[in-house]
């Protein structure tokens, strides 16, 4: 009898020990699973605020709208990410709001002055991250305070702009004007420069098409116009001549398409509104200048960009009255449709990118790249090709430049790239 009682006590002790061991293991599993969950959400959130800061910093060109654009771009880019186990709605716990996109000056003091903003910061806290097993452990052990049902994670990022090691210029090139030196090489900010000419004649600061890989290939011209990157100071450009085959790619940026084109695939700029001597007789500062006068009826590019205007302004007609051709005086032949204008389901609003602020290489007498200019594409390409102008907006490496590039920071000249600094 005594032996049986001892055996039962041993079995009871083993059950208690096993239960305690299982509780111990459950706790470790809870830590592994729940803190792994927190780690994943924290990583997703960090990616979102990194995207936010980089997009916001990209807009810091020291113009009056820089902070407004920075907040909008930061929110849009950050909230395009998926957070809380790849939830498109971030688990319904709230996404980045405008107040979480802030700016700092060169001394890193908070600022709301657009011309002083150098750094963009995005910070967000994601609440109510569910703790699955730890909550169960708390309920089992009675320690709910030490094992809460939810936790929160937070992340922040700061970005600024710096010169990139490589650039993504379009395949045209400019030569300095006679006696012109850095940073503007003899060009005046706001000046209209004819870089593409009807017969590819070159004079003064004009050269025309210029392949950045040194070749004369039309397919390379098209690829570079469509965003191929990698150009560096010191590269030698090629001179392929007039390339009518690149008209499609050029005109996509204005939201002008042939039958096969589509703004969801061939992304346009935020506006396709174009400028020629017909609607902007002054031929100077169409970017943000006053109404042109002299019979001109246009508003500047900044205004049209905010309205998501098409090449036909508020319409989608390529030809006829109140059309793209009647506004610009250009002939677009086989181009038959425009991206929809407006801020309600318009193609320029839905699919728009900064596609008309372009980087243009400056070359020396040996066709070697020595620097980069920032320019605004003013007109679509006419068919047959006529003189095509771009507006000079300053050196691409200037802090006030609206031109940016992609790639790694660390260059000595040329366009700026958004870069994380903390």
Identify the weakest region by mean pLDDT among 86-95, 98-107, 199-208, 349-358: 199-208
* Residue carrying structure tokens 């086989």: 334
Q: Which residue has the higher pLDDT, 23 or 388?
A: 388
The pLDDT value recorded for residue 195 is 87
Exposed, middle or buried, 232 (CB in 10 Å: 0-12/13-18/19+)?
middle
Split at pLDDT 50, 70, 90, the class of 129 is confident
The pLDDT value recorded for residue 204 is 40
Report the predicted TM-score, pTM, of the whole model to 2 decimal places: 0.71
Spans of all domains in the chain? 2-163
Concatenate the DSSP letters of all residues of 65-118 into one string: THHHHHHHHHHHHHHTS-BTTTBTTGGGT----GGGEEEE-TTS-B---TTT--
Tokens of 407: 């790639």
Q: Which residue has the higher pLDDT, 244 or 289?
A: 289
Query: pLDDT above 70 covers what percent of the chain?
Result: 82
Exposed, middle or buried, 282 (CB in 10 Å: 0-12/13-18/19+)?
middle
Q: Are 288 and 306 in contact (CB under 8 A)?
A: no
Task: Report the distance separating Cα 347 and Cα 136, nearest Å.
Answer: 50
Tell whether omega for the bond before 368 is within 30 degrees of 0, i.e. cis: no
Tell me the pLDDT of the chain averaged across its residues: 84
For residue 63, count other CB atoms closer than 10 A to its CB.
17
With a CB cutoff of 8 Å and minimum separation 6, the contacts of 375 are 193, 195, 357, 358, 359, 360, 390, 391, 392, 393, 403
Q: Please state the rounded mean pLDDT for residues 78-98.
A: 90
Tokens of 129: 């991250």
259-302 pLDDT, tens digit per residue, is: 888 899 999 999 999 999 999 999 999 999 998 776 667 899 99
Q: How far is CA 17 from the centre of its chain?
A: 60
Q: Are 194 and 387 in contact (CB under 8 A)?
A: yes
């Amino acid at each position: 009898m005594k032996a049986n009682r001892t055996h039962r006590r041993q079995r009871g002790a083993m059950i208690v020990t096993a239960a305690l061991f299982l509780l111990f293991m459950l706790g470790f599993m809870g830590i592994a699973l729940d803190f792994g969950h927190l780690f994943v959400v924290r990583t997703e959130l960090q990616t979102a605020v990194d995207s936010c800061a980089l997009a916001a910093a990209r807009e810091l060109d020291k113009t009056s709208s820089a902070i407004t654009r920075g907040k909008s771009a930061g929110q849009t880019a950050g909230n395009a990410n998926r957070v809380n186990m790849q939830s498109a709605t971030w688990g319904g716990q709230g996404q980045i709001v405008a107040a979480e996109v802030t700016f700092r000056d060169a001394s890193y003091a908070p600022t709301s002055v657009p011309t002083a903003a150098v750094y963009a910061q995005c910070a967000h806290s994601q609440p109510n991250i569910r703790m699955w097993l730890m909550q169960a452990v708390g309920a089992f052990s009675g320690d709910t305070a030490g094992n809460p049902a939810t936790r929160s994670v937070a992340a922040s990022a700061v970005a600024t702009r710096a010169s990139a090691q490589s650039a993504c210029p379009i395949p045209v090139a400019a030569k300095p004007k006679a006696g012109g030196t850095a940073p503007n090489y003899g060009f005046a900010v706001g000046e209209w420069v004819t870089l593409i000419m009807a017969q590819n004649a070159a004079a003064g600061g004009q050269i025309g098409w210029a392949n950045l890989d040194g070749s004369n290939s039309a397919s390379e011209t098209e690829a570079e116009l469509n965003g191929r990157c990698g150009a560096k100071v010191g590269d030698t450009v090629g001179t392929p001549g007039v390339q009518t085959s690149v008209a499609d790619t050029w005109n996509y940026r204005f939201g002008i398409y042939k039958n096969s084109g589509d703004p969801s695939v061939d992304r346009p700029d935020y506006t396709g509104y174009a400028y020629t001597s017909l609607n902007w007789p002054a031929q100077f500062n169409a970017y943000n200048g006053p109404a042109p006068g002299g019979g001109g009826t246009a508003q500047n590019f900044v205004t049209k960009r905010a309205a998501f205007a098409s090449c036909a302004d508020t319409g989608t007609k390529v030809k006829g009255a109140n059309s793209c051709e009647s506004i610009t005086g250009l002939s677009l032949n086989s181009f038959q449709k425009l991206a929809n204008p407006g801020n309600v389901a318009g193609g320029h609003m839905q699919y728009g990118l900064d596609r008309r602020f372009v980087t243009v290489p400056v070359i020396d007498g040996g066709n070697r790249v020595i620097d980069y200019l920032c320019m605004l594409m003013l007109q679509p390409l006419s068919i047959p090709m006529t003189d095509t102008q771009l507006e000079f907006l300053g050196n691409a490496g200037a802090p006030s430049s609206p031109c940016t590039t992609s790639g790694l920071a660390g260059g000595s000249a040329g366009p700026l790239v958004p870069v994380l600094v903390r």
